[in-house]
Structures are given as structure tokens and as C-alpha cells.
Structure 1
Amino acid sequence: MKPRLQVINGHAPNYHQQTAVTDSFSFGDPEPCLDNRLTDYIGVFSDSNGIYAPPISLQGLVKLLRVNAQHGPILYFKRNMILKWYKPNPLLSHQALSKFAFDLLWSGNAYLQIIKNTFGQVIKLRHLPALTMRYTDTRGVYAQLSNRSNQPIYFNAGEVIHVKEYDPAQGIYGIPQYYGGIQSALLNEDATLFRRRYYKNGAHMGFIFSMADPNLSEADETALKNAIRDSKGVGNFRSLFFNFRTNKADAEKSIKITPVGDISTKDEFERIKKITLNDMLSMHRAQEALSGQSSGDSPGFGDLDKITRAYYNNEVVPMQQDVLGINNYLPAAQHIEFKEPEYSDLNPTPKESA
């Protein structure tokens, strides 16, 4: 007759001769892995006030700026490259353009309010935060959400300049160019948080603690369970305890430790960080030599002069041209402009004299 198998959860049964009892319990609860909705594209719909909601979460994009050490700093670097060659203009201050350019980079939308004097002349362009700006179902009319009241602030038709990235799915709001790389940025953050929890947890167990000792008393077994359960840390790494109660236990094999995985050396942390960094450099089309990032693929950064020239011609000029969309709303005499460095295509570097 085969021995009876009984599963016990935290309680010890009456043990009889020729009875095999498996006592087991586990630590920790499963956590949802798809709890982030930053990449949900919900479409564009108007509410009861006639205001269109953005197709993606702007609050989520703001939080994403602080998700890791690369994503936000690269956007600030690109903002600085736009401002570097800005010609001072009385209509648009350096501070206002800085905010405007950064809004365009992180959200794909940037707004300015046209301020006119009593004669209808444009005297100033005031920055409007992209986070709170919305388009209404009235043509040319924008609204700004207010934290002080439930009522939005409406602007007159033609009073707001809206420069945006193109989104083929809809024409009301823009989508940032890096949108397709959000998952890589989040994976980079998850890897960092995982490693932080690993070190913070300290003396975690992280293995299966199995026994085959029929002589272990219930009091000793409870004390052993509590010792494992109360091990140092917040419990990010859990362990599993088994006790096979049988009279055929081998003294040398009565206690067995089975590692679930050697997380300390085989979690591929560095590989994940490197891959996600390369993804973020790609999604931003950023030069690591200029943006302060290093993927570790090459021993050096190369010729910085050539890299700077290529980056200016291929990336900075197109970003400046997007910002120059402001001029569509201004008289020709008041257009904003950018200077051109000596190494631009329009002003090639002069040949050195013999």
C-alpha cells in the first residue's frame, strides 16, 4: 500500500507510521506587471465642456521625464541645442522659448499666447504650458485647465499659437517622436528598481528550503518558518519551505537548500541597462558623445567636431524649423530667427590657409 500524501498549510496533522505528509507554504503575493498605462492610445474625444482630451496621458509623459537617468536629460540636451543659436527677439524671451521648445519635445505640443496692444500689433508672445492646454470643438479656440477652479479658461479664436508634431491618427494634438520607445524607458526603470529592491532587501532567502525529518517537532518547525518569514528586508525575494514527513529520511539529506536562481550574478542587469540605453539613444536620435551618455560599445567618442557638425545639420536644424512654425502667426518684420554656426551646410568651414 502506497503512503498517503497530505498537504498541510501551516498546521501539523497527527502523524502515523507509513504516512508521508508534505508540509509546504510559500511567501509573497504576485504583482501585476501590466500596471502602467503610459502607452495607451485612447483617441481624441470631447467632454461636456466641448474640450478635446489628448490621445495619450500628458501626466504620464511628465512622470516619464524622471523615469531614468537618460530620457529626461536627453530632452533637456535637445532643448539646449535649439536655444544655443537663438537670436534675441523682443517678442519672445529666452525663457519663454526654452519652455516652448521643451514642451514640443516632451509632449509633441507647444503653445504661445499672442499679446497685442490697442492698435492690434503683436507686442509679446507668452508661453502656455502644454500640460494644461486643450483644444475645443469651436474652431480656433483653445482652453486652459485651471487648478483653482473647475472652469477652464477660454482664449479667443486666433489668440493661441499651437505648434505640434504630426500624428496620422488624428489632427488635433501632436504625439512626441519618442513615443514608440516608452517601453524601453520603463524597462530601464524596472531593472533599476529591481536591483534597488534586491540590495534593500538585504539578507533575503531566495531559495526552496526543503526537509525530510520526521523527528522535527512542531514547535521547531514553526520557529523555523517564522525565521524564514521574518528574514531581513521588505520581502521582494520570497522563499518556499517544504517538510516531507517520512520515517525513511536520510540524515544526510534531511535538509536541502535549492536555489531558485542565482539572481546576484545571473539577472542580466547590465545587459538590460545597456540595451535599453541604446534604445533610448535611438528613439531620441541622440549622439552619446554630445548628450553625455555612453553605451560602452566603443572606447572613445570619436571626432567631436565632425559629430557636432553632423548632429547640427541633421537634428538641430529640423528642430529649429519646427519651432519656426511660430512665424506663421507673425508679421514678416517680427519673425524669430536662429544664427548659423560656421560648420553648417549654409556656412561651410572655410579651408585652412596653406
Structure 2
Amino acid sequence: MKQRLPVVAGQMPQYNQSQNSSVSFSFGDPEPCLDNRLTSYIGVFADLNGIYAPPVSLNGLIKLLHVNAQHGPILYFKRNMILKWVKPSAIISRRTAGKFAFDYLWSGNGYLQIIKNRLGGVMKLRHLPALTMRYTKERGVYAQLRSDGSITRFKKGEVIQIKEYDPTQGIYGIPQYYGGIQSALLNEDATLFRRRYYKNGAHMGFIFSMADPNLATEDEDALKEAIKDSKGVGNFRSLFFNNRSGKTDADKAIKITPVGDISTKDEFERIKRITTNDMLSMHRAQEALSGQSSGDSAGFGNLDRITSAYYNNEVVPLQQDILQINDYLPRSAHIGFDVPAYSDLLNTPDEKD
């Protein structure tokens, strides 16, 4: 008689046996993976303090930066490309410009505080973290949420906000990659599942079946212990079965049936490749430049031409977004970017072998 018993994670189950019964032991259900952390568009509403809440969870977008090996690094790469040609300025330091640009990329919003001298002239621009900045019901007035629960309100016109356009509301911006969040989460889920799959070792590897009614009890116990001891970190668990009736399908005394061949039964590599392509698309990133690889290309191509095309089609528009801060500054305080000598590269014929 076959008996199935509950299993405690990390332990081998106990079993009962009689001389004329079949003996087996098996395992319970696999442990669930981490729950999905989804962001949802909840709209923009003002609280009792007259402060508008962002339409999406900014904390969720921050956590998303570490979701996998592609999403966060691509955003850092785009920030570096923006800063690569920034002109040094006494109004805004390179460090401040980097923080501002990165906030704009991950949240769709960038904030700067205008610091003025005693004469009312612009002395410098100070970075304000997008994570804590909010717009108030008072026109042109922004507030900053403090970790102690207090709120700092700025004067009207003291804060510059640059935001992505959201057609549903005009208070906060939404990052351009927002539509690809599900692919980023699926990429993470696949990695976490594979890590747990190997780490806990509690997955079926093979069924070791016998049909020997004359097998000595001590020999049977020795076989069970040998199979049990083979389990470890990165290994599969297996199942031992002895049919004491002596009957098998193929009249074999010993039969080994593999059931845990993950190389053919799961789609880990396919999921990783598809989601990586999705993330490259949602960021409009060139894999040859950003250190990412979808695995679909044999080589990287002409890097000079790729760099030129990426600069013209992606970096320049981002720099133009950053330059919107000049609309709030006097001409003497305007910032700018150098222009690299890329104009001739797009007209350069491809190199032939």
C-alpha cells in the first residue's frame, strides 16, 4: 500500500512499510515565489495638507531600479551619456546635474531649487530629490516631505520642475519606461525562481524504482539513505520506490526515471532573452553601447556609427529636455552642452571586410 506523508522543508519524510507492501516517499508542493510588486496608476489627489500625491508609487519605481541586471544599469548609462558633454558651470555642478538627470530618467520628474544672492541674482541651483518632492494646491508652490513626517514648503517660483508629459494630468510626469515594468518584473521572477530552484534542493530529480520482493530490509534502507544523502544545495531530491510484488512494466528489476530535467522542461533562457529585448526596447537602448546583450546578435557592428545614431536620436532629445531649466533662469545663468564631432559619422560608408 502506498502512503503519502506531509513534508517539512529541508527534511526527508518518514515512511511506513510492511513486508508485502510497496514503499515510497515523496514531497509536498513547491514553495511559492515572491509576490509581484506592481505599480498602478491611481490618479492625482490632494491630501488634507493640500499636497498632491503622485499617480504612481515613487517608492515602487525606486525598488524597480534593482529588479534585474538591465533596467537600473541602462538608466545609469543614459545619465552618463547626458553628462558626457555637459559644460562646466558655476550655476550647476556636474554632481547636481547628474542627480537631476537621473531623477528625470527614473521618475519622469526633476527638481532644482534656485538659490539667490542678496541682490536677487541666481547664485546656484540645488538638487531636490524627486522621491520626496510634491506639488501643492497653491499655484507654483512645491513642498518636500521629510523623514520625520514634517513638510517643508518652498516659496512660489523657488523650485524648478522638469517633467515628462502625461496626457491624463499635468502635475507630475510619468517615466517613459512605464509600459515595460511587467517585463522587468517577469525577468526578476524568472531569476528568483531559478535561484530558489537550485538553492533549496527540494525538487524531484528521478524516480528510482525496483521490483524485488526478496530485497533485504537493511539493503533497502541503505539505498534510501544513499539517495537521501545525495540531496544538497544545487541538487535535486529523488524518489525511491520498491514494488515488492515483483511486477514491472518492462520486467526490469531496477528502473530509473528522470523527472526533473529543467534544461528541457522550463523556459528560463527564453524568458530572460525575451524580457531583455523588451527592456532594451522600452529604454531605446543600444546593446552594443550600454553593456546589455539580447543574445540575438553575433556581433556589435560599427560602434562609431551606432554611437553617432544613438547620440542624435536619444541623447540630444534628453539634453533638450534638461535645457528646459534655462526657461527659468536669466541668460547669464544658462547651462549648455558641448557638441561632439559626430556629424560626419552617419555619412561614413560601412567598413567592408
Tell me which interval the TM-score lies in, with the shorter structure as reference length: 0.7 to 0.9
What amino acid does structure 1 have at the position aligned with 2:68?
A: N
Letter in 1 for 2:74: I
CA contact (8 A) 1:203 1:231 kept: no
**Structure 2 residue identity aligned to 1:27:** G
Deviation at 1:178, TM superposition (A): 1.0
Match for residue 298 of structure 1? Answer: 297
Who is 1:60 aligned against?
60
Q: Which runs of 5+ in 2 are unaligned?
A: 6-13, 349-353
Please give the secondary structure, in 2, of the residue aligned with 1:56: coil
Q: How far did 1:137 drift?
A: 2.4
CA 1:312–1:185: 2 relative to 1, 3 Å: same
Q: Which residue of 1 aligns with 2:99?
A: 99
Query: How far off its partner does 1:28 sit?
Result: 3.7
Q: Distance in 2 between matches of 1:45 and 1:208?
A: 59
* Aligned counterparts of 2:236 and 2:54: Cα–Cα separation in 1: 39
| Maintained 8 Å contact 2:183/2:275 | yes
What SS does the corresponding residue of 1:39 show, helix, strand or coil?
coil
Evaluate the alpha carbon distance shift between residue 256 and residue 52 of structure 1 in structure 2; reply closer, same or farther with a 3 A threshold. Answer: farther
Mean Cα deviation higher: 100-109 or 336-345 = 336-345
For residues 240-319 of structure 1, what are the structure 2 equivalents within 5 Å?
247=245, 249-250=247-248, 257-319=256-318
* Corresponding residue pairs, total: 339
* Aligned-partner Cα distance in 2 for 1:241–1:160: 70
Kindly provide the amino acid, as one letter, of the partner of residue 139 in structure 1. Answer: R
SS at match of 1:26: coil
Partner residue of 2:10? none
Q: Is the 8 A contact 2:208 2:238 kept in 1?
A: yes
Note if 1:144 corresponds to 2:139. Answer: no
Q: Distance in 1 between matches of 2:238 and 2:114?
A: 63
TM-score (norm: length of structure 2): 0.79
TM-aligned CA deviation for residue 99 of structure 1:
0.5
Letter in 2 for 1:169: T
CA gap of 1:166–1:231, structure 2 versus 1, over 3 A, is farther
State how 1:323-338 maps to structure 2 within 5 Å: 323-338=322-337
SS in 2 for 1:44: coil
Q: Is the 8 A contact 2:276 2:294 kept in 1?
A: yes
Q: 3-state SS of the aligned residue for 2:326? A: helix
Alignment of 1:31 onto 2:32: yes
Q: Distance in 1 between matches of 2:328 and 2:198?
A: 55
Shift of 1:283: 0.8
Task: Give the CA deviation at 1:207.
Answer: 4.3
Q: Is the deviation greater in 203-212 or in 284-293?
A: 203-212
**Could you tell me which residue of structure 1 aligns to residue 87 of structure 2?**
87
Contact 2:39 2:56 in 1 (8 A): yes
The equivalent residue for 2:351 is: none
Structure 1: distance between partners of 2:62 and 2:173: 15
The secondary structure found in structure 2 opposite 1:316 is helix
Tell me if the contact between 1:38 and 1:57 (Cα under 8 Å) persists in the aligned partners.
Answer: no
The letter for the 2-side match of 1:315 is E
Q: Matches of 1:233 and 1:320 in 2, distance apart?
A: 53
CA contact (8 A) 1:185 1:276 kept: yes
> 1:256–1:42: structure 2 CA closer, same or farther, 3 Å change rule?
farther
User: For structure 1, which segment, 263-272 or 150-159, has the greater mean C-alpha deviation from structure 2 after superposition?
Assistant: 263-272
Instruction: Give CA-to-partner distance per residue, 1:261-316, whole Å, 9 cap, x none.
Output: 41035433333222222111111111122212233333322222221221111111
Q: Which amino acid aligns with 2:55?
A: P
Residues 194 and 6 (structure 1), Cα distance of their counterparts in 2 relative to 1, 3 Å cut: closer
Q: How does 1:121-270 map to 2 (within 5 A)?
A: 121-147=121-147, 149-201=148-200, 205-207=204-206, 232-233=231-232, 247=245, 249-250=247-248, 257-270=256-269
Deviation per CA, 1:103-151, whole angstroms, max 9, x where unpaired? 111111111011112222211110011111122222222221212x211
When the two chains are superposed, the root-mean-square deviation of aligned CA atoms in Å is: 3.6
Paired amino acid for 2:306: I
Q: Distance in 2 between matches of 1:77 and 1:69?
A: 13
CA–CA distance in structure 2, aligned partners of residues 116 and 129 of structure 1: 20
Residue aligned with 2:282, SS: helix
- Distance in 2 of aligned mates of 1:218 and 1:212: 14
Quick check: 1:214–1:249 contact (8 Å CA) kept in 2?
A: no
Counterpart of 2:312, as a letter, is: N
Contact conserved, 2:113 with 2:160, CA < 8 A, in 1?
A: yes
Q: 1:141 to 1:303 in 2, by over 3 A?
A: same
- Tell me the distance in 1 between the aligned counterparts of 2:61 and 2:217: 54
CA, structure 1 residues 243+42, in 2 after alignment: closer, same or farther (shift >3 Å)? Answer: farther
Cα separation, partners in 2 of 1:247 and 1:199, compared to 1, 3 Å: closer
Give the whole-Å Cα distance in 1 for the aligned partners of 2:295 and 2:246: 56
Q: Is the 8 A contact 2:208 2:239 kept in 1?
A: yes
